[in-house]
Structure 1
């Protein structure tokens, strides 16, 4: 196959190992906080009596901020310094979280959301994610799938744990009526941000971006390939947006009469399976290569996604969903390692920011389309459309990008 397998990675050098340890520790703390805060955030906004339009505007601002923040990181972080930018982002996260914890004034909440540092997804947090992935890309090429696998597995695991702990404030108030209201518990964001800022001081100076005399930051040699890849990623993200977690819960309740308690257990199991699949991805990539892992684990998961809608009974639908979850995230560490391998070291931060931003922009369009499909076509239509779109993405990706990494490796300036 043209996407050559990786051999077993050598032991990492001390700077790379230290970078991975620090970034993954920060990822665990962030994911725990995001998982906890995402559950509380919806309840807090609802309890403040804000209109649906205002709440929708806040979440739209959050997604816009993630895309704009990622682009800013791609353009400026290597000039300002990656460690300095990392600390600044956590300072902004602390201020944004404090705004949601202490205020209900819509203009302030929208401004805080536009920073791009808040997220309702433990594994996606805009500019912070783009910068972390860039720093992890500095490890030796054969070790990248394993490092990215751990990075993503930690996000899924700790995000699930954070969501489980979100019921704690309510339980505490049953025991202690004077305990703080849910909104004040969002102060977990600034507390976590301060802890993350402290951890960033352990990063070695080697995480700073490489610089070449006379070369400006940004995409140069790889611009065309990165833009094509970003376009494909936006299609995949739109397909995924048709079946976001909240929509799947809604669909299972409507189609099968599933209880919220059952779906909570199901999605905890989904998070565990996604964590395991992220770890397994490194071994798969070592055997069959990065692009093949991205495509040939994603294809069967998308078939199972479409099959969910065709199951005649709730247990079979849950089994299809869990089967899909066991495969669906194997492409993520491979995708992150593939981008780092495809471009020159000086281009990595711009390439990662560009491809992430494309996904952030396209994904919010999915839920709107899903509601229309369900209303105008059929109850099963969003799952079938999502599976079909994502299968088409896999096939075009394989057709268009076979051999691209080998071409990059043969380039005299490639990293």
Structure 2
């Protein structure tokens, strides 16, 4: 079925990567919902749970960065299979251990992702391989489908996360045992991914004779992009879903059920909008797509803080959701286009990891703001920071174009402004 999602000229390797993305996304969505409840049931305190979750985030970021920088010293298919075996071991570790320190250690060195999104060690290698499976003209379309599959299947996994707990009573087992089965499923999914990776062809491997360097001529471009993407993520940290849910409850006293419905539809709008990104990019270019769709999205975000009614606030948030994720496939496609093929794994990790780390502190500040007043100061702060990012991105990179927009332009820093 996923083969139909790939662009027309895509190779079979693209289908395999969409399939592995879907399998991993299902596991990520499942465990992101179950993890905290499971750790509570096995006896961990709130502080210990926070440490385990922090360990999974930091460990995932460090492993992603390491894989990206070292990817050129391994065959890509072999590296992906090794990561899938680590996914199996991670699921088994969480299913077997119940004490704090072993769980924290497994979280630190494993592949578990409590955010539900794709911030994992698989990311730099898969994103580096994807551009080689389609012509340049279809690269953004493939990244859009890659993102769409991840969002929708992760949502499905999250939606099914309540089944084990509901089944505990009829099956006559404890809730902790039922939730433990989720990590067994996670391990099984790792095994499925392992065998799907074996279907990848040798075409995904690094070109013969290319120097095994992480970053070469595009180093400056990658670092500048990473800095800008981190600024965007820092702004986004003020408006993560948990903060927006809290704001809606404090400001308008929305019920949890109604708030959940709002973000369900917001997720669908965000997922569907990614399919529009390639069409817009073909008309105005990747950088303009990233900036020109983000700017109105952030205007809607700031507007939500000022409107007087819940209906208007929800309308602003839904309008923002319909626009705010169009930059995701454009961003991934752009990064892969403006570096050399052998720099792609490092570029993917270096532009992803700082973004994850930059989003860790703003929720603390946003929570403090909302403890002082129910007015939407976090929305304003996040929106302004993200608008600054949009303008800086447009100013600094509008002249550095990918091959399909300017075939004669170089793919190194020589084309940067």
TM over 0.5: yes
User: Which consecutive residues of structure 1, in runs of 5 or more, have no partner in the other structure?
Assistant: 1-8
Q: Which of 96-105 and 275-284 deviates more? A: 96-105
User: Which consecutive residues of structure 2, in runs of 5 or more, have no partner in the other structure?
Assistant: 1-5
Q: Which of 219-228 and 256-265 deviates more? A: 256-265
Measured in 2, the distance between the counterparts of 1:412 and 1:312 equals 49
Aligned to 1:188: 185
Residue 109 of structure 2: SS of its match in structure 1?
A: coil
Aligned to 1:161: 156
Q: How does 1:101-250 map to 2 (within 5 A)?
A: 101-115=95-109, 117-138=111-132, 139-178=134-173, 180-213=177-210, 215-250=211-246
Measured in 1, the distance between the counterparts of 2:168 and 2:312 equals 38
1:211: Cα distance to partner?
4.6
Measured in 2, the distance between the counterparts of 1:315 and 1:256 equals 9
Instruction: Give deviations 1:325-354, integer Å, cap 9, x for gaps.
Output: 111110000000100111111211111111
Structure 1's 316 and 222: CA in aligned 2 closer, same or farther, altered over 3 A?
Answer: same
Q: Does 1:373 align with 2:372?
A: no
> What do you get for the CA RMSD once the two structures are aligned?
2.2
Residue 118 of structure 2: SS of its match in structure 1?
A: coil
Q: Does structure 1 retain, via aligned residues, the 8 Å contact 2:25–2:118?
A: no
Aligned to 1:4: none
Q: Does structure 1 retain, via aligned residues, the 8 Å contact 2:140–2:278?
A: yes
Q: Does 1:65 align with 2:62?
A: no
1:255: Cα distance to partner?
1.9
Aligned to 2:270: 274
Structure 1's 380 and 116: CA in aligned 2 closer, same or farther, altered over 3 A?
Answer: farther
1:377: Cα distance to partner?
6.8
Q: Does 1:351 align with 2:350?
A: no
Aligned to 1:42: 36
Residue 384 of structure 1: SS of its match in structure 2?
A: helix
Q: Which of 291-300 and 97-106 deviates more? A: 97-106
Measured in 2, the distance between the counterparts of 1:306 and 1:112 equals 40
Residue 242 of structure 1: SS of its match in structure 2?
A: helix
Structure 1's 364 and 409: CA in aligned 2 closer, same or farther, altered over 3 A?
Answer: farther
Q: Does structure 1 retain, via aligned residues, the 8 Å contact 2:252–2:309?
A: yes
Q: Which of 308-317 and 161-170 deviates more? A: 308-317
Measured in 2, the distance between the counterparts of 1:10 and 1:147 equals 6
TM-score, normalising length from structure 2? 0.91
Q: Does structure 1 retain, via aligned residues, the 8 Å contact 2:269–2:318?
A: yes
Aligned to 1:285: 281
Q: Does structure 1 retain, via aligned residues, the 8 Å contact 2:277–2:289?
A: yes
Q: Which of 334-343 and 62-71 deviates more? A: 62-71
Measured in 1, the distance between the counterparts of 2:251 and 2:7 equals 50
Q: Does structure 2 retain, via aligned residues, the 8 Å contact 1:58–1:113?
A: yes
TM-score, normalising length from structure 1? 0.91
Q: Which of 304-313 and 20-29 deviates more? A: 304-313
1:404: Cα distance to partner?
1.6
